[in-house]
């Protein structure tokens, strides 16, 4: 499965023609996401990422993207220091 990151809407046909099977729409505002989804026209699944918060997720979902990545779930999670130490036996 290949993911291609869109930096500009003008790349849509180049990316799709190159064989992308999914498109990652990263750090786009809602109107830009909506435009990207319209341009893709359901040809491949789309994923919105970046700027996803509780106050933006509904509007992002309403753009018609296939998936939404929410990094916020892990960005502020506390770190756990887990070690695996080995000792020679015998």
In degrees to the nearest 10, what's the CA dihedral of 68, 52, 58, 32? Answer: -80
Q: Which of 72, 62, 60 is nearest to 30 (CA)?
A: 60
The residue to which tokens 């036996």 are assigned: 89
Are the CB atoms for 49 and 71 separated by under 8 Å?
Answer: yes
Is residue 75's pLDDT more than 70?
no
Strand partners for 27: none
pTM for this predicted structure: 0.69
Q: What is the CATH number of domain 3-73?
A: 3.20.20.70
Would you place residue 1 in the very low, low, confident or very high pLDDT band (cuts 50, 70, 90)?
very low
Q: Where are the domains of the chain?
A: 3-73
Give the pLDDT score at 11.
60
Coil, strand or helix at 23 = strand
Strand-pair partners of 3 = 22
């Amino acid at each position: 499965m290949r993911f291609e990151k869109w930096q500009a809407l003008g790349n849509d046909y180049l990316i799709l023609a190159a064989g992308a099977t999914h498109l990652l729409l990263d750090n786009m505002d809602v109107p830009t996401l909506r435009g990207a989804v319209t341009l893709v026209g359901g040809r491949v699944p789309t994923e919105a990422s970046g700027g996803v918060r509780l106050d933006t997720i509904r509007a992002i979902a309403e753009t018609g993207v296939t998936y939404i990545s929410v990094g916020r779930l892990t960005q502020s999670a506390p770190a756990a220091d887990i070690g695996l130490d080995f000792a020679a036996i015998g």
